[in-house]
Amino acid sequence: MVHALEQIHRVLRRGGVVADLRPDRFADPRQPQPQLPKICWASQRRERFQGVLDKNPGNLRKHRAATRTMHRVVQRKLFRLERTETFPFRYHFRSLGVFERFLRTVWKESVVQPSVCRRLLRAKRRSPNGHVVVIEPLRLNLLRKRNRGPL
């Protein structure tokens, strides 16, 4: 990621802006525990918490490294951090089957614990017209290229 940001810095015009949008697992790279996406069952406009979506430890290392990289490019004065926003992003899946297919094909590194699966199945039996919602914390960093500064 450092190399990519250096290349962006190279081609970006003076004062140009970069938007860095990614999952907010580690707001601080020294943070011991990651923020994991929550899994809910939603029906009648209410979300009921069922558990969290576990991530592969190797993937979590990448998230921590990305946060470190952001801090590093700001410290090196390649970019100035203009603004940071964090917000919950909701993925909606119309059924458990669609959610499971998505996990197998797109979020391959994610794991749903058996206890969470059981709670989702119970919630589905109680309110069959509901759907799965995954709430993931996202972070948007707006970085402005410094007019001067070392590369």
Place of tokens 């938007």: 19
For residue 137, is it within any domain? yes
Q: Is residue 21 situated within a structural domain?
A: yes
pLDDT value of position 151 = 47
The mean pLDDT of the chain is: 86
Number of domains in the chain: 1
Of 125 and 58, the structure prediction assigns the larger pLDDT to 125
Say whether pLDDT at 59 is over 80. no
Checking if the pLDDT of 103 tops 70, the result is yes
How many other C-beta atoms can be found within 10 angstroms of the C-beta atom of residue 94? 10
Stretch among 26-30, 38-42, 117-121 having the lowest mean pLDDT: 26-30
Percent of all residues in the chain with a pLDDT value above 90, rounded to a whole number: 42
Residue 69 placed within a domain:
yes
pLDDT of 25 reads 79
Question: Does the pLDDT at position 28 exceed 80?
Answer: no
Residue 97 sits in which domain range? 2-145
> In this structure, is residue 19 part of a structural domain?
yes
Task: Tell me, yes or no, whether 37 lies in a domain.
Answer: yes
Whether residue 151 is contained in a domain is answered as: no
Query: Which own/partner contact pairs does 4-10 have at CB distance under 8 Å and 24+ positions apart?
Result: 5/69, 5/73, 5/78, 5/79, 6/73, 6/78, 6/151, 9/73, 9/78, 9/79, 9/145, 9/151, 10/151
Does 6 map to a domain? yes
In a domain, 95, yes or no: yes
